[in-house]
Amino acid sequence: MSIKIRLTLMSFLQFFVWGAWLITLGNYWFATKQWSGAEFGAIFSTLGFSSILMPALAGIIADKWINAEKLYGILHIMGGLILCYIPQVDNPSTFFWVIFGAMLCYMPTISLSNSIAYTILKNNKYDVVKVFPPIRVWGTIGFIAAMWMTNLSGNKASANMFYISAAAAIALGIFSFLLPKCPPQKLISKDSSLAQKLGLDAFKLFGTYKIALFFLFSMLLGAALQLTNMYGDTFLSDFEKIPEYADSFVVKYSTVIMSISQISETLFILAIPFFLKRFGIKQVMLFSMFAWVLRFGLFAFGDPSGGLWMIIMSCIVYGMAFDFFNISGSLFIETTTDSSIRSSAQGLFMMMSNGFGAFFGAVASGWLIDRFFTVNGEKDWQPIWLCFSAYALIIAIAFAILFKHKHNPKEVENISH
């Protein structure tokens, strides 16, 4: 099996593990277990906690003590075993700690998979910039495939989705031991300070107004992503409570409908270089924010009949909402930070969006929905989505006014995605 095929399979399974349950967890929580929204928000906060705690730690371990591919395999096998236990959990409190354990194992593997792919490609004299993106796109395809398998097999509200995910995780963990070796780089010298060893010297970036402001908006927008992951599939499935929509395609195949978002994501990636060169980093990030306004607003007025086009259009604009900020944000960090702390700065960007943003978005949205938009156990979805849309609009307007960045077409030439 060639290097590229092995890395493609790794990328596919990496996100298959996540896609098997992430989007459909709300159905399992609310429909099968009938637990509360506030507690559900806490569950999604585990993604944030894990993103804050684990990636840097795993990176240090891989740099100093153990082969990256071995650490990657161990984490996936451990995570898979924890996922196998989830169906046995019968209360929200225990569920929180079990899923937190699974996320502590899974979240660092996202960055490790990239590091492994880069190392192996470079060691085999491949052009990373040219070869890696087609490999990485199979991760999104794996996420879509898992969503479809969970839905079409009738398991979108079933505990079986955790077994599907666990089987993929354990298989990937075993497979990773067959990958080419990625030994510790030992790039951190004995004379380095503790802050340098932990990558904490990047925190001095918060002393720069523009970068600090960017990190703040990264956190605020990171919260918006979790709103989609937490409630999108549950929203579509809840149409079954309305008799005229109970047997609709949207209700039966809600996860398939939601997968249009991931399909759109793969397509918008191709458009990013054009938009960046034509409009610049700030404008592209603004496009992302207004796309989030549309994402939530279209959900607010969509339905499985005459409003089906709104639901589908909401899923299509997700690709722009998700990709445009992540890619242009990464390029902003690449072109505005010193090379000595650039990797740490990229990690800080991910920590603010996937870490603190995910945590605050999960907790705040769960409390808000329970407090203001739930009547007799039923969620009033239209005002929920309108509230989220207004949130995204406020962020977009504030960003347009406060964030100053001059467009330089040459920045696109430095993009490394």
Between CA 36 and CA 196 the distance in angstroms is: 42
* Close Cβ partners of 88 (under 8 Å, ≥ 6 residues apart): none
Q: What is the pLDDT of residue 416?
A: 41
Q: What is the pLDDT of residue 334?
A: 64
Cα angle vertex 359, ends 196, 263, to 5°? 100
Which tokens sit at 49? 């906690």
Q: Are 112 and 71 in contact (CB under 8 A)?
A: yes
Answer whether 1-180 and 198-417 agree in fold: yes
What confidence category does residue 339 fall into, taking pLDDT thresholds of 50, 70 and 90?
Answer: low
Between 35 and 7, the higher pLDDT residue = 7
Between 229 and 146, the higher pLDDT residue = 146
Q: What is the pLDDT of residue 208?
A: 82
Q: Which of 206, 226, 204, 223 is nearest to 214 (CA)?
A: 206
Q: Which of 199, 250, 213 is nearest to 57 (CA)?
A: 199
pLDDT per residue as tens digits for the range 368-380: 888 898 888 888 9
Is 175 a residue whose pLDDT tops 90?
yes
Superfamily, domain 1-180: MFS general substrate transporter like domains (1.20.1250.20)
Give how far Cα 408 sits from Cα of 9, 285, 332, 405, Å.
Answer: 37, 15, 11, 9
Residue whose entry in the numeric block shows the structure tokens 């259009």: 313
pLDDT per residue as tens digits for the range 344-401: 666 677 778 878 887 888 788 888 888 898 888 888 999 999 999 999 999 999 999 9
Between CA 138 and CA 89 the distance in angstroms is: 32
The domain 198-417 having CATH identifier 3.40.50.300: the answer here is no
Where along the chain do its domains lie? 1-180, 198-417
Which range of 97-111, 116-130, 195-209 scores highest in mean pLDDT? It is: 97-111
Q: CB-hemisphere CA count at 13 Å for 173?
A: 19
Q: Which amino acid is it at 228?
A: T
- Indicate left, alpha or beta for 280 from its phi (over 0: left) and psi (-120 to 50: alpha): left
Between CA 283 and CA 250 the distance in angstroms is: 34
Does the predicted model carry a pTM greater than 0.85?
Answer: no
Q: Which of 176, 183, 179, 180 is nearest to 80 (CA)?
A: 176
